[in-house]
Structure 1
Amino acid sequence: MQLDLSLDELAAYRYADEPEPADFDAFWSRTLSEAGRIPVAAEFAPYDALLRTVDTFDVTFAGYGGDPIKGWLILPADRSGPLPTVVEYIGYGGGRGEPLEWLAYASAGYAHFVMDTRGQGSTWRTGDTADPGASGPAVPGYVTRGILDPHDYYYRRLYVDAYRAVDAAAAHPDVDPSRIAVTGRSQGGALSVAVGGLRHDIAAAIPHVPFLSAFRRATSITDANPYAEIVRWCATHRTKAEQAFATLAYFDGTSFATRATCRGSFSVALMDPICPPSTVYAAHNVWGGPKDIAVWPYNDHDGGGPEDQLRTIRVLRELFG
């Protein structure tokens, strides 16, 4: 069933349950400055994926703290000149898997860079990247790791990885660095929102049913994981809940969205209990660049499914031809 505000209310919704940290910009400026001292040092090793219509590279680049992050670069075998590129981030618990799982965008003629997710990749698709970062007591999952300090929080490391994945993709000679878009579903959508707000050299962010926005509202209206991991953590660490939400405010998609200048092309599902519609609209409604949103009234966290992929290709065609 539809579990959130009406469509008219969603279109007008503004998230105001948690103030943005006064030093939000300074925090992320310092974080990216520190990260930038370490070269991205992307390496592209040819990989035999047993596929004839694409060329695949096993990628390693330096993410947060110089940690090695894996990925795939998948290129159309029949190509000429540097290509428009889509950098894709992965949903909660998933990893980069096998190249044959990522053929849509290369088949449409684009370079496709898939970033592996540190410490994940053991839930529904395999991954190959460790997360060496320190963390305090956490509920099983990832969203409460290091939640008492924004400097130690898991998503600080992951957001920096996602930011640097764009630079890693741009380092390949078959990628046109002036024509890059970012996309992803759920957690991957959240990363594309964050990168869209942190970078001003990408053409578009295309987040599908994005996670990690409007934390206070999300934890009050859904019992579904991953937001429920935060609820369970706060229920156990009763006296530290406000400190946890103070950390989360540095990672809220709404704050990144306001700083975006590129196109934002969202999707939302009105029966989604995992990323409730108002949390998606919270980021969409304050997006700083041109924006649009596809609404799927009768879907839950699957969103538009393959229609979201097709919509991504249409956006890429509009932007890059």
Structure 2
Amino acid sequence: MKPVSISLSAAAIFLAAMQFACASPATASAAAPSEVRVLDAALPDTPLKVTLTRPDWTYRVGEPAAFLVKVDRNPYPAEGVRIRYRLGPDMLEGAERTAIVPRDGLVLPVPAQTQPGFVRCLVKADLDGKPYQGIATAAFSPLELRPVQSEPADFDRFWAAQRRDLAAIAPAFRLTPAPALSTGEVEVSYLSFQNVGPGSRTTRIYGVLSVPRGAGPFPAVLQVPGAGVRGYKGTPELAAKGFITLQLGIHGIPVDLPDELYEQLNYGALDGYNRFNLDNPATYYYRRVYLGALRALDYLAQHPKWNGRHLVAQGGSQGGQLAIMASALDPRVSLTIASYPAYSDVTGYLHGRAGGWPGLFRTDEAGVRQDQPVESKVATSAYYDTANFARRLRAPVLYYAGYNDMVTPPTSTFAVYNVIPSARSLVVEPQQAHFTSQGHRDTQERWLLEHAAGRR
């Protein structure tokens, strides 16, 4: 993976961001100018290839675009290769159609776009008895997307009240040494602490703390997890480079249990946890999760080896959601690293476009709107939507997104990125799905090291 810094399309994205930011006083105050980098990701090694007429897959609204479908076969069938494809807005690609791909390839024009957004082409073919799938997604003025999620008038008062509830509970931090995970350079421990629970009861949150053995002081990184239920072993490899790291679990379950238990919880008692009590913001499942992440920052900020200056919130998918939330609610955070954040603009499907994971309010194949009754759930979601936290960020943000992401769709993640008011840098990997490439992992580590050294 190598950064592309001089392509005309990449420059066009940056210019579009700058022009939009300067378009009017109202929008200029809503978001900061954008530093954009485009990573050139290699296409999968498959005989079915779907690309676009521009190498970075990015266009302005109103510009013509087309998908290019090619099949590598030798000898090539004289009758061509039959494909099945869907083409339309991301996550709303429409009904399946068929076409024949000739030897020189097939051009599928994109309908003229009048609004910012993403158009995706999903292609399937059976070749030599094996099924193949190709995917490409065109972006149209992506830095002009804005959220459709509402913002409650009492959003800040609501979260101030939740934080008071958390402060009323003694943290009762508890460390248990984990010698099997420790190294000569890093001491690893299991950490747990008290958190809010239902009603007047309390719960505990669990994680893995990795601390360099040197005297310090060190920067600290809170690492919040993607969706699901799993165990954790910490990140001693990053701690060995001079960072206190706290890898957090969110479900109130110890993080060193047998894998089978997490698997059973993932598909059993905790299946669909992101919708538990969605009718009430005061009891919604994520309330305890969000407050637990804030208490994790409290722990790092009181650690005797913390340098008192550099406190980072980092995560991808659900972790990106939590990193942005924690950074918005805790002014001590000095850097936010968020990759394809979940729970972004989740009411999108009510407005005819993609909403963020977990796909709230989608219409199923029978045409039935999910997550009924909608009104109460929409009201709750507004207090937890990443978009409303993004508007409150103060620290610099490193943000990552891929156009082919079908878990946290780009329509949702770009809408969130575009309202961040603090200094922000966007790394785009157009071909990437819901995955962090090695190229971006290297970018994140470089940012952390530069941040800790005061070069950011």
Q: Same fold by TM-score, threshold 0.5 exceeded?
A: yes
| Alignment check: 8 A CA contact 2:344 2:355 kept | no
Give the Cα–Cα distance (whole angstroms) in 2 for the partners of residues 22 and 124 of structure 1: 43
The amino acid of 2:388's aligned partner reads S
Residue 227 of structure 1 aligns to a residue whose secondary structure is coil
Matches within 5 A, 1:248-263: 248-263=381-396
Conserved 8 A contact 2:355-2:412: no
Q: Aligned partner of 2:205: which letter? A: I
CA offset digits 1:97-129 (Å, max 9, x no partner)? 223xx24421322111111111577998976xx
Instruction: Measure the CA separation in 1 of the matches of 2:209 and 2:349.
Output: 34
Instruction: Check whether the contact 1:96–1:125 (CA below 8 A) recurs between aligned residues.
Output: no
Q: Which position in structure 2 is the counterpart of 1:86?
A: 221
Give unmatched runs, 5+ long, in structure 1.
Answer: 131-137
Counterpart selection for 1:113 from 222, 241, 246: 246
Say if 2:346 and 2:355, in contact at 8 Å, map to a contact too.
no
In the alignment, which of 429, 442, 449 is matched to residue 317 of structure 1? 449
Q: Are 2:319 and 1:184 aligned?
A: no
Task: Output the CA distance in 2 between the equivalents of 1:123 and 1:308.
Answer: 31
Deviation of the 1:168 alpha carbon: 1.5
Match for residue 287 of structure 1 among 420, 424, 428: 420
After superposition, the C-alpha distances for 1:285-310 in whole angstroms (9 at most, x for unaligned) are: 111211111101111000x3333332
- Contact 1:143–1:229 (Cα < 8 Å) also in 2: no
Distance change >3 Å, CA 197–CA 230, structure 1 → 2: farther
Q: Is the 8 A contact 1:83 1:176 kept in 2?
A: yes
The structural deviation recorded for 1:96 is 4.1
When Rg is computed on C-alpha atoms for both structures, the one with the higher figure is: 2
1:91·1:185 contact (CA, 8 Å) conserved in 2? yes
Q: Does the CA contact (< 8 Å) of 1:93 and 1:124 recur in 2? A: no
Letter matched to residue 195 of structure 2: G
Q: CA deviation at 1:140?
A: 3.7
Q: Which has the higher helix share?
A: 1
Whether 1:30 and 2:165 are equivalent positions in the alignment is no
Higher strand share: 2
Q: Secondary structure at the match of 1:41?
A: coil
Alpha-carbon distance in structure 1 between the residues aligned to 2:260 and 2:442: 22
Residues 36 and 218 of structure 1: CA distance in aligned 2, closer, same or farther (over 3 Å): farther
Q: Residue in 1 aligned with 2:172?
A: 41
Amino acid at match of 2:400: S
What TM-score do you get using the length of structure 1 for normalisation?
A: 0.85
1:70 aligns with 2:206: yes
- The corresponding residue for 2:344 is 213
Distance in 2 (CA, whole Å) between partners of 1:12 and 1:235 is 28
User: What one-letter code is carried by the residue in structure 2 that aligns with 1:198?
Assistant: L
Alpha-carbon distance in 2 for matches of 1:139, 1:218: 24
Worse overlay, 82-91 or 170-179: 170-179
AA matched with 2:177 = P
* Number of the residue aligned with 1:135: none
TM-score, length of structure 2 as denominator length: 0.61
In the other structure, the counterpart of 2:188 is: 56
| Gaps in structure 2 of 5+ consecutive residues | 1-49, 51-56, 58-89, 91-116, 119-137
What is the CA-CA distance between 1:81 and the residue it aligns to? 1.6
Q: Which amino acid aligns with 2:168?
A: R
Whole-Å Cα distance in 1 between the matches of residues 301 and 402 of structure 2?
32
Deviation of 1:37 after TM superposition, in Å, equals: 1.2
Give me the whole-angstrom Cα distance separating, in 2, the residues matched to 1:94 and 1:210: 18
**Aligned partner letter, 1:145:** F
What aligned pairs does 1:87-166 form with structure 2 within 5 A after superposition?
87-99=222-234, 102-118=235-251, 140-166=271-297
CA contact (8 A) 1:222 1:273 kept: no
Contact 2:348 2:355 in 1 (8 A): no
Aligned identity (percent) is 26
Shift of the 249–313 alpha-carbon distance from structure 1 to 2, 3 Å rule, reads same
Are 2:316 and 2:340, in contact at CA under 8 Å, matched by a contact in 1? yes
Q: Contact between 2:231 and 2:259, CA under 8 Å: does it hold in 1?
A: no
Q: 1:311, CA displacement in angstroms?
A: 1.9
C-alpha RMSD of matched pairs (Å): 2.9
- Provide Cα deviations, 1:236-277, integer angstroms capped at 9, x if missing partner: 664x11211111011111111111111111100110010011
Q: Distance in 2 between matches of 1:107 and 1:191?
A: 25
Distance 1:28 1:223 in 2: 23
